[in-house]
Chains A and B, each alone.
Chain A
Amino acid sequence: MTQPLASLRQSLACAYPAAASETIALGAQSLDRRLGGGILRAALHEAYAETAADAPAATGFALALARRAMAGGGKPLLWARQEALTSESGAPYPPGLADIGLDPAAVAFIRVRDAKEALQAGAEAGRCATVGATLIELFGEARAYDLTASRRLALAAAAAGAPIFVSRVGASPAPSAASSRWLVRAAPSRALAANAPGSAAFTIFLLRQRGGAAGQEQHEWRVEWNRDRGAFEDRTFDTSSLSGPVASLPVGGTPGEGAPQRAGRKFG
């Protein structure tokens, strides 16, 4: 049963070399091993926010993936965002983008009225080979984003050889042509000195990976986005992040081993 499938895969890989094989590694070993090297570059990927409050986390996760996809390419990110999201979670703030490692100068931003327009803009950009990555942010149960629409995006991504990310808030995961589908929840960060919030951390669930191994394998991770390395780091078994709100320290003692040190304070 697996023999013909494997040979079929092989012949497909020969026919579409770029589309079939090239992956984007996420940076965290356990994650990449499970994904078989990473997520496909020329494909559609979805990130669902678990609750409305996790919207920035889902988009942040997608942006971090886009950052990995664009690394060193010098190609811009095209970001289409539904206008309704502005009242929901605010407008993109460029210094914040820079703070998670994306160059705001390399972002073209399209403010669209509804999901249909967002998908049109995304498909238009996704088809363009000079775009490094495309991010489409949708709000609510968008009827325009159906199997056909997602298939169209997947084909556009395959043709252009650059990933398209769809970040969704207020929607429950539904079947689509996406190559991978993630559920994202904000996770407590590793506290810095003086119990300051640290780098962006996410709890991510791999809901689906096309062609990936299904079944009993690990599908939940807690990851931290390391901006300086431009990579995710696996914190699944890191207990320091699971501790209570206030870490107790001996007087005059040093912070726990898990807590990273900061170079210095900078307030601009």
Chain B
Amino acid sequence: MTLADARARAPHLAVAQADPDADERLMLRLAAFGEQFTPLVALDPPCGLMLDATGCAHLFGGEAMMRTCILQAMARLSFTGRAAVAGTPEAARALARFGQEVVTPPGEDENFTRPLSIAALEAPKETSVALTRAGLTSLGDLADRSSAALTARFGDETMRRLTRILGREDARITPLRPLPECMVERRFAEPFLDLSAIENVLRPLIAEAMGILERRGEGGRAFEARFFRTDGAVAVLNFETGAPSRNVEALLRLFRLKADSLADPLDPGFGFDVIRFCVLNAETLAQSQIGFERQSAQEGDVADLVDRLAARFGRERVLRFAAHETHDPVRAASYVYAASPSKPNSWEKPEPGEPPLRPLFLFDPPQPIDTMAETPDGPPMHFKWRRVRHMIARAEGPERIAPEWWRNAVGRDRRTRDYYRLEDREGHRFWVFREGLYESETAAPRWFLHGLFA
């Protein structure tokens, strides 16, 4: 139907541009909302949600009650929905979209789906036209035919769909998020409003989850707290530890730090219906007696500190230094996450009697400077950096550092650098270099300030 046609029939029609992106975002929000009923939620395009109720229905008093529960929750968000519960995802979809909204008893999918029209196959148009012309109008008609002949005529895909709708073949859904290692939750009869008491709810939840992990001999690495609000919004808080942990208080502290650092703070709105704590990632953690070996307890303390800092500031800000075996000063050191596994890399020990040969601070990229040198290949007499002229009192160099030619990509021009240690009359010490060998590599070498000494 064209827009003009539709307007002719219904003059007060409100028209809006289709926005598939917004639709998808809405569906993802609804999917997050749906996760309070089961952790296994998948999108069912174009406008459906597929919930795997396996093992969850009894929590709501059976599949029929669960279905009512979900529809009521949707109604509170002003969504009308059609929902069916069946043995296979395809059967449930066909029933919800083309048939009655029922709850099929186990193993009886076929009885309910046989009367559905062949539109429920959602096959390409030519297939449904061909089927109708052949006088096959319901799925039951198809089900009675030999599947070999139908496959030969209409293809594999259509027939697989038919067997699944009839419940003869089962397929699992692919949930939006992988199943957590362990999950505990608290449901509230009345929406939970008191944010100050939230730790009183979380503490037993975390303790329960840690109990489960302890029986498995595991400790968690990645955790998630989910807050399902009455109005459908879901707040998620993720935090991680550097080493497997089962320490309830430490996790609570991480949660507190994370909650404090949120850009928009945790807002209960009209209250939380469900609060859930998941362990997303677990690793083996042996049962241990703490407080016996002092040394290891101290190491644990520093790891705890790193976790706390990472929870508050983000992993990319809590760092340690990693050494690399290269003569290229820029590549010789890098920053990595403080809790990342360290390989025993040795930092070169300075030789006794030597002054510091490497600066305490390094500029990346090096800062261009204006210099005046006595000879083209000598140290500068003075240079200008940030509009200040530094008169050089002491100098040492050059220390020639050639580029690592085996790393040079073709066309990337990296020249030899002659490094000098300089000290100006006030006592500031600099690390500067001249880029390019005079005459052989460049006619007018440029100077850069690369670092500052203490």
Q: Which B residue's beta carbon lies closest to that of A247?
A: B394
Q: Is B349 an interface residue (CB 8 A)?
A: yes
Across the interface, which residues of A come within 8 angstroms of B451, CB to CB?
A: 90, 93, 96
Q: How far is the CA of A94 from the CA of B329 in the complex (A)?
A: 10
Which of B14-22, B117-125, B313-321 is the interface stretch? B313-321
Q: Contact between A110 and B454 (Cβ–Cβ < 8 Å)? A: no
Q: How far is the CA of A244 from the CA of B394 in the complex (A)?
A: 10
Q: Is B335 an interface residue (CB 8 A)?
A: yes
Q: How far is the CA of A109 from the CA of B337 in the complex (A)?
A: 9
One of A56, A64, A111, A225 near B361 (C-beta < 8 A)? A56
Which residues of chain A from 26 to 62 have a CB within 8 Å of any chain B CB? Answer: 53-57, 59-61
Q: Contact between B317 and A60 (Cβ–Cβ < 8 Å)? A: no
Across the interface, which residues of A come within 8 angstroms of B358, CB to CB?
A: 93, 95-96, 98-99
Q: Which A residue's beta carbon lies closest to that of B312?
A: A120
Q: Is B286 an interface residue (CB 8 A)?
A: no
Q: Which B residue's beta carbon lies closest to that of A64?
A: B454
Q: Is A76 an interface residue (CB 8 A)?
A: yes
Q: Is B427 an interface residue (CB 8 A)?
A: yes
Q: Contact between B305 and A124 (Cβ–Cβ < 8 Å)? A: yes
Q: How far is the CA of A121 from the CA of B310 in the complex (A)?
A: 10
Q: Is B351 an interface residue (CB 8 A)?
A: yes
Q: How far is the CA of A99 from the CA of B305 in the complex (A)?
A: 27
One of A53, A93, A105 near B360 (C-beta < 8 A)? A93
Across the interface, which residues of B come within 8 angstroms of A99, CB to CB?
A: 350, 356-358, 360
Q: Contact between B421 and A60 (Cβ–Cβ < 8 Å)? A: no
Q: How far is the CA of A200 from the CA of B421 in the complex (A)?
A: 12
Q: Could you count the A-B residue pairs with CB atoms below 8 Å apart for me: how many are there?
A: 221
One of B320, B393, B452 near A245 (C-beta < 8 A)? B393
Which of A8-16, A128-136, A141-149, A248-256 is the interface stretch? A128-136
Q: Contact between A130 and B301 (Cβ–Cβ < 8 Å)? A: yes
Across the interface, which residues of A come within 8 angstroms of B394, CB to CB?
A: 188-189, 191, 195-198, 245
Which residues of chain A from 70 to 103 have a CB within 8 Å of any chain B CB? Answer: 76, 78, 89-101, 103
Q: Contact between A94 and B453 (Cβ–Cβ < 8 Å)? A: no
Q: Contact between B351 and A56 (Cβ–Cβ < 8 Å)? A: no
Across the interface, which residues of B come within 8 angstroms of A214, CB to CB?
A: none
Interface residues as binary, A183-210 with B (CB distance below 8 Å gives 1, 0 otherwise)? 0011111011011111111010000000
Across the interface, which residues of B come within 8 angstroms of A261, CB to CB?
A: 353
Interface residues as binary, B222-254 with A (CB distance below 8 Å gives 1, 0 otherwise)? 000000000000000000000000000000000
Q: How many residues of B contact A (CB 8 A)?
A: 62
One of B299, B321, B357, B393 near A109 (C-beta < 8 A)? B321
Q: How far is the CA of A192 from the CA of B335 in the complex (A)?
A: 33
Q: How far is the CA of A91 from the CA of B364 in the complex (A)?
A: 8
Chain B: minimal CB distance from A110 (Å) = 5
One of B302, B333, B361, B427 near A188 (C-beta < 8 A)? B427
Q: Contact between B361 and A110 (Cβ–Cβ < 8 Å)? A: no
Q: How far is the CA of A260 from the CA of B358 in the complex (A)?
A: 19
Q: Is A215 an interface residue (CB 8 A)?
A: no
Chain A: minimal CB distance from B349 (Å) = 7
Interface centre among A76, A95, A100, A228 (most CB of B within 10 A): A95
Q: How far is the CA of A21 from the CA of B399 in the complex (A)?
A: 47
Interface centre among A59, A98, A128, A197 (most CB of B within 10 A): A197
Q: Is A104 an interface residue (CB 8 A)?
A: yes
One of B329, B359, B429 near A189 (C-beta < 8 A)? B429
Q: Is A108 an interface residue (CB 8 A)?
A: yes
Chain B: minimal CB distance from A170 (Å) = 14
Q: How far is the CA of A93 from the CA of B391 in the complex (A)?
A: 25
One of A57, A98, A268 near B454 (C-beta < 8 A)? A57
Q: What band does the interface of chain A fall in when counting residues whose beta carbon is under 8 Å from B?
A: 35 or more
Q: Contact between A90 and B327 (Cβ–Cβ < 8 Å)? A: no
Which residues of chain B from 348 to 395 have a CB within 8 Å of any chain A CB? Answer: 348-364, 388, 391-395
Q: How far is the CA of A191 from the CA of B395 in the complex (A)?
A: 9
Q: Is B298 an interface residue (CB 8 A)?
A: yes
Q: Is B308 an interface residue (CB 8 A)?
A: yes
Which residues of chain B from 410 to 428 have a CB within 8 Å of any chain A CB? Answer: 421-423, 425-428
Q: Contact between A197 and B423 (Cβ–Cβ < 8 Å)? A: yes
One of B312, B327, B347, B427 near A104 (C-beta < 8 A)? B347
Chain B: minimal CB distance from A44 (Å) = 19
Q: Which B residue's beta carbon lies closest to that of A227?
A: B350
Q: How far is the CA of A201 from the CA of B384 in the complex (A)?
A: 23
Q: Contact between B352 and A96 (Cβ–Cβ < 8 Å)? A: no
Q: How far is the CA of A201 from the CA of B215 in the complex (A)?
A: 59
Q: Is B396 an interface residue (CB 8 A)?
A: yes
Q: Is B193 an interface residue (CB 8 A)?
A: no
One of B301, B320, B333, B345 near A93 (C-beta < 8 A)? B333
Chain A: minimal CB distance from B389 (Å) = 12
Q: Is B309 an interface residue (CB 8 A)?
A: yes
Q: Is A267 an interface residue (CB 8 A)?
A: yes
Interface residues as binary, B419-449 with A (CB distance below 8 Å gives 1, 0 otherwise)? 0011101111100000000000000000000
Name 18 interchain pairs, CB-CB below 8 A, sorted by A.
A76-B302, A92-B362, A94-B332, A96-B356, A97-B321, A99-B350, A100-B356, A100-B454, A101-B350, A105-B347, A109-B321, A111-B319, A128-B301, A189-B394, A189-B427, A199-B356, A200-B356, A200-B454
Known contacts A105-B320, A245-B392; can you find 16 more A-B pairs with CB under 8 A? Answer: A56-B428, A56-B453, A57-B427, A60-B360, A63-B360, A90-B451, A91-B361, A92-B321, A94-B321, A107-B320, A124-B305, A125-B309, A128-B301, A195-B394, A196-B395, A228-B352
Binding site for A on B (CB under 8 A): 298-299, 301-302, 305-306, 308-309, 312-313, 317-321, 323, 327, 329, 332-333, 335, 338, 342, 345, 347-364, 388, 391-396, 399, 421-423, 425-429, 451-454
